[in-house]
Amino acid sequence: MFAIYIRRYPNLGVEIVAVMSAETSGILLSFSMPKGQMTKEQRQRWKPYAALLSGNMTEKHYKLICELHADLYAHKYHEPCTCSPKRIKEWIYQINKIYAL
């Protein structure tokens, strides 16, 4: 379930402020819109993993995904459950979208 929060500006339109997601565990997560770019240090740290989309990942890779996503999408650091790879794959896709810019 997602909720999208928007800000309306008279004569200018709307701006998406944040997207909220409720995990099946009941934890409410807030994902603000991305900053739009990675720092040079973040790009260097992500480069070895940018092409990895499947297979086993190390704990170091998993924590890097969580850290980068939290910073790039301005939300509290959170480690999603590893029992289902759906959310972590989504985060990898989102990080790669910013990396490609």
Q: Which phi and psi angles does 65 have, rounded to 5°? A: -60, -45
Segment 33-74, tens digit of pLDDT: 566 678 889 888 988 887 766 667 888 889 999 999 988 888
* CA–CA separation, 65 and 88 (whole Å): 8
Is the pLDDT at 80 greater than 80? The verdict is yes
Where are the domains positioned within the chain? 2-99
Which residue reads 């995904």 in tokens? 65
Those residues with Cβ within 8 angstroms of residue 62's Cβ, 6 or more apart along the chain or in another chain: 79, 82, 88
